Amino acid sequence: PNPITAAPAMAVPSKLLKPVSLTKVASRYLIHQDSLPKLPVPELRQTCQRYLAVLEPLVSDEELEHTRTLVADFMVPGGVGERLQKGLERRARKMDNWLSDWWLQSAYLEFRMPVVVYSSPGVVLPRAEFQDRQGQMRYAAKLIAGVLDFKTKIDNGTLPVEYMVGKPLCMNQYYQILSSCRIPGPKRDMVVNHSLGKAPPTHVTVVHNYQFFVLDVYNSDGTPLTVDQIYMQLEKIWNSSLQTNKEPIGILTSQHRNTWGKAYANLIKDKTNKESVRAIQKSIFIVCLDAPMPRASDEMYRSRVAVQMLHGGGSRWNSGNRWFDKTLQFIIGEDGSCGLIYEHAPAEGPPIMSLVDHVVEYTKKSEMVRSPMIPLPMPQKLRFNITPETKKDIEKAKQNMNILVQDLEMKVIVFSHFGKNVPKSYKMSPDAFIQIALQLAYFRMYHVCCSTYESASLRMFRLGRTDTIRSTSMDSLRFAQAMDDPTKTKVALLQKAVNAHRVYTDMAIRGQAIDRHLLGLKLQAIEDLTSMPEIFMDTSYAVALHYSLSTSQVSAKTDCVMCYGPVVPDGYGVCYNSMQEHINFSVSAFNSCAETNAAKLARGLEEALLDMRALLEQTPKAKL
């Protein structure tokens, strides 16, 4: 039984135990969490051997030889590797998850580049069927109601546990995505979440024309407002923010984190500003009602919406209509463009996507029952006092944002020839098939392969986040080399390459991949104040971590696509959602890099997928 609903609150001596309110995380969730296995620490020898195998397609023979000797030194019995490994194993015994806090700090909170483009993913939803601002606000009202409906499940612990390959998954990330916010610091950031606090928030933030409003979405009895009520409140907000604010205060959040950390300290010296910022941070999520963006041809439209979600288009458009530190911001344009952007520190894509699936289904429901309208107070507008110094910070942020906007090339493509169906009909993993196609596309452009990152979920383990699937292998390289060589037989190489990817994926989701383990050993060395082992200062290690292809499969029932920027100056960000009969994907690159071209790689990926299908079709089934 659910202890929360089962326990009669009146029977509880109030001094000893507080009655548990429904807004508290149900203990049912905690029982589930406790039943999950802990993330293992892989064996040292296994990781070292796999590391060398991973390097083989990426570095020269001489470099590999050099690294071999460093690895052998590292692994020597009684040596530094074993000592660090023991430290890691101790850490793993003591903690719920030896990795998660280190990962949160090193991958996110100590990462100093702007969260915009460099960290926060955007999600493009299918174009909504409205054409005017009434439609926009009605859609926004339904969307808010849909998120609140999902929130009820989180709050009352009735969110169904998810499974992957038959194993239950950690659900913790669901408890981190609402009512949370990143806060900048001069050297590192932090994340606060208010969902578990004594007084959980009851408002969302709405931003329109760069002006921020507190919209209370619950009645005093704890029931959520109806769609009609939310709509009326949104209209009031709209009517009182017809003029664009002169100072797009939100654009400050797009800065380099150290710069923003300093500007933030200044900004909140003022009491009014501090209260306004706190109201945004504490809100359940943000809804951005965007001004129309520049028109685009049908072909360009998807890519245009992708950048609207990812960075807002620059200071002239909607980049100031955001608070990029906020974990969840839904974005709704007047022309039916909609989607969201999320700050990456608290969660990965999958929980966000399952929230999106729920909300999109909810918005499709026909009109709700109309409720008698009780007049509600005007939503409070958040005030900011702008000092000359903050004004300077805003100007600088605008300039930098515009440079970044100019620099980002984003291509969103619908590959309509096939989806999961084709690889499945050949008993191949659709994800492995797409990853190998990407390897082929890259190889055709550059005649070499590169270090490739694909995120793998570690949620089979308590508080698990991700590890790296390294899609580049000797098998993927041999296939890519053979594909355009008429003297080679290719189909067996394709099968081997796809299989190698599947095997690596399997190993990664079981906590046996190499990247987080190597990071752990490195961080353990830092914590132990031992000198840095040479394998971490080696060129090969730098090559291995230079991800020219940063990729992710983010699946959703909704026909949407996620997008993000490259993680290295001369690389690509590639994200895809493979549906049954088509694949939507996004490819990004930086214009300032002469060697990269997102449009070209996107075309190359389409060709590679088609060529791989043709190869399979030409081969008699008996030979497959």
Ligand X SMILES: *[C@@H]1O[C@H](CO)[C@@H](O)[C@H](O)[C@H]1NC(C)=O
Q: Would you please indicate which residues are annotated as catalytic (active-site) residues? A: 344
Identify which of residues 152 and 406 has a Cβ nearer to ligand X in the complex: 152
What the block records as the tokens of 46 is: 């296994």
Minimum separation from the CB atom of position 234 to ligand X (A): 9
Minimum separation from the CB atom of position 534 to ligand X (A): 36
Minimum separation from the CB atom of position 64 to ligand X (A): 42
Q: Does the annotation place 210 within a ligand binding site? A: no
Q: Does the annotation place 426 within a ligand binding site? A: yes
Q: Does the annotation place 420 within a ligand binding site? A: yes
**Of the candidates 255, 606, 140, 130, the residue with the CA atom closest to the CA atom of residue 412:** 606
Minimum separation from the CB atom of position 196 to ligand X (A): 6
Q: Does the annotation place 453 within a ligand binding site? A: yes
Applying CB under 6 A, the residues found at the interface with ligand X are 5, 124, 126, 149, 152-153, 156, 158, 175, 192-193, 196, 232, 235-236, 239, 302, 414, 416, 559-561, 582, 584
Identify which of residues 64 and 191 has a Cβ nearer to ligand X in the complex: 191
Q: Does the annotation place 457 within a ligand binding site? A: yes
Q: Does the annotation place 187 within a ligand binding site? A: no
382: Cβ–Cβ under 8 A, 6 or more apart, which residues?
205, 211, 212, 213, 214, 276, 279, 280
Round to whole Å and give the CA distance between 572 and 562.
14
Q: How far is CA 314 from the centre of its chain?
A: 21
Identify which of residues 306 and 549 has a Cβ nearer to ligand X in the complex: 306
Minimum separation from the CB atom of position 374 to ligand X (A): 14
305: Cβ–Cβ under 8 A, 6 or more apart, which residues?
124, 127, 333, 337, 339, 412
Length of the chain: 624
With b meaning 16 or more CB within 10 Å and e meaning fewer, what string describes 189-208? bebebbbeeeebbbbbbbbb
φ and ψ of 15, to 5 deg: -75, -30
Q: How far is CA 175 from the centre of its chain?
A: 15
CA distances from 422 to 416, 551, 583 (A): 12, 21, 11
Q: Does the annotation place 425 within a ligand binding site? A: yes
Round to whole Å and give the CA distance between 376 and 232.
9
Identify which of residues 318 and 584 has a Cβ nearer to ligand X in the complex: 584
**Strand-pair category, 286-289 with 203-208:** parallel
Minimum separation from the CB atom of position 602 to ligand X (A): 13
**Strand-pair category, 572-578 with 583-590:** antiparallel
Q: Does the annotation place 293 within a ligand binding site? A: no
Identify which of residues 175 and 564 has a Cβ nearer to ligand X in the complex: 175
CA distances from 580 to 400, 430, 586 (A): 41, 10, 18
Round to whole Å and give the CA distance between 103 and 298.
41
Identify which of residues 51 and 108 has a Cβ nearer to ligand X in the complex: 108
Round to whole Å and give the CA distance between 20 and 17.
8
φ and ψ of 557, to 5 deg: -75, -35
Minimum separation from the CB atom of position 481 to ligand X (A): 32
Binding residues: 420, 424-431, 453, 455, 457, 466, 502, 553
Binding residues for (R)-carnitine: 453, 455, 466
